[in-house]
Amino acid sequence: MELRHLRYFVAVASEQSFTRAAEKLHIAQPPLSRQIQQLEEEFGLVLIDRDSRPLRLTDAGRLMHEQAVQVLERVDEIRAMAKRLRAAGRDRFAIGFVTSTLYGGLPEVIRRYRAARPEVELTLLEMTTIEQVAALKEGRIDVGFGRIALDDPTVDQRLLRNEALVVALPTGHPLATHEDPLCLDDLAGEGLVVFPKAPRPSFADMVLSLYRERGLRPGAVHEVRELQTALGLVVAGEGISLVPASAQRLRRDDIVYRPLHGDKAVAPVIMSHRAQDGSPEIGVLLDLIYDMYQAYGIPHEPRR
């Protein structure tokens, strides 16, 4: 006797029909009938009254049915327990990220990490840098990739690299064909689209601070939730937007990207984790990141 014999018997008893039970079990009816017959032969008992319509269990069949249901329930409990034990024994690693990092090297880092650590259950969560700090403290994530440097003694932040900013312009804009890098002075008075709208401080504040440091003021400022929306407003003629250079991978026929001049015209890529966190996964992740930087010749900060 095997467990499948009991499952087949319980299915026939439940459906009161070999035909419906076979459909439920996704097997043909003749093999199902043979399996039930083999079970009856092993027990030396007739379990099903085949002459009744609908099918009925014999007295012996009802007793055996009660026991079979209990056995199968117990088996299901054991399987569930085994699944929980496997999950409890499996390493977990959660990464938070700001959306703009998806257009840079983060997707490849994730692919490399999955290949290097297939036994680790990896979770990815989109969140702003501010949200990442809260998530690190609460243990919801182990590492965060953001753009904002924050002063918090419980969180260790590491500047990985500074990504250049570019100006997103609608096609047909007078500066769209400008060959040299643009200066902020060239953009003074232009409407400006910044993101994200909240929570603050955010990448939006970094962009606005560039204007303030040069004593410049943009025209109307539009605050939106995400990069894609910002580009949509640029196309609509609501203003220009300063975005990380990796955003150029969002190829659009109605957007022109021009480089922005200035040492401070950068979008940092910052990795955050809990201070004093000795998880080996953090070291593995850093190895993969710097290996990728080296392989592709990506300028980056020295590893510390």
Terminal C-alpha separation, the chain: 63
pLDDT digits (tens, 9 = 90+) for 233-284: 999 999 999 999 999 988 788 999 999 998 889 999 999 999 988 889 999 9
Q: How far apart are CA 211 and CA 185, in angstroms?
A: 9
Q: How far apart are CA 122 and CA 197, in angstroms?
A: 29
pLDDT at 89 exceeding the cut of 70: no
pLDDT digits (tens, 9 = 90+) for 197-246: 888 888 999 999 999 999 999 989 999 988 999 999 999 999 999 999 99
**Mean pLDDT over all residues of the chain?**
91
Q: How far apart are CA 199 and CA 197, in angstroms?
A: 7
pLDDT at 87 exceeding the cut of 80: no
State the pLDDT at residue 251. Answer: 79
Query: Helices 3-15 & 18-25, crossing angle to 10 degrees?
Result: 130
pLDDT at 86 exceeding the cut of 70: no
Tell me the mean pLDDT in the region 135-147.
Answer: 94
pLDDT category of residue 78 using cuts at 50, 70 and 90 = confident
Pair of tokens at residue 296:
């592709």
Tell me the mean pLDDT in the region 159-179.
Answer: 93
Q: Are 236 and 71 in contact (CB under 8 A)?
A: no
State the pLDDT at residue 175. Answer: 93
Q: Are 34 and 72 in contact (CB under 8 A)?
A: no
Map tokens 């983060």 to a residue. Answer: 106
State the pLDDT at residue 84. Answer: 64
Exposure letters 46-70 (e unless 16+ CB within 10 A, then b): ebbeeeeeebebbeebeebbeebee
Q: How far apart are CA 171 and CA 245, in angstroms?
A: 18
* CA max distance for the chain: 96
State the pLDDT at residue 92. Answer: 87
State the pLDDT at residue 168. Answer: 96
pLDDT category of residue 90 using cuts at 50, 70 and 90 = low
Map tokens 């099903």 to a residue. Answer: 48
Specify the range with the lowest mean pLDDT, choosing from 79-83, 139-143, 260-264, 282-286.
Answer: 79-83
Percent of the chain exceeding pLDDT 70 equals 97
Judge residue 20's burial from the number of C-beta atoms within 10 Å of its C-beta, 0-12 exposed, 13-18 middle, 19 or more buried: middle
For residue 257, the cross-strand partners are: 168
Q: Which of 4, 18, 15 is nearest to 50 (CA)?
A: 18
166 Rama sector, left if φ>0, alpha if ψ -120 to 50, beta otherwise: beta
Q: How far apart are CA 296 and CA 136, in angstroms?
A: 30
State the pLDDT at residue 198. Answer: 80
pLDDT at 85 exceeding the cut of 70: no
Specify the range with the lowest mean pLDDT, choosing from 43-57, 79-93, 237-251, 275-289.
Answer: 79-93
Q: How far apart are CA 116 and CA 285, in angstroms?
A: 9
Q: Which amino acid is at 14?
A: S
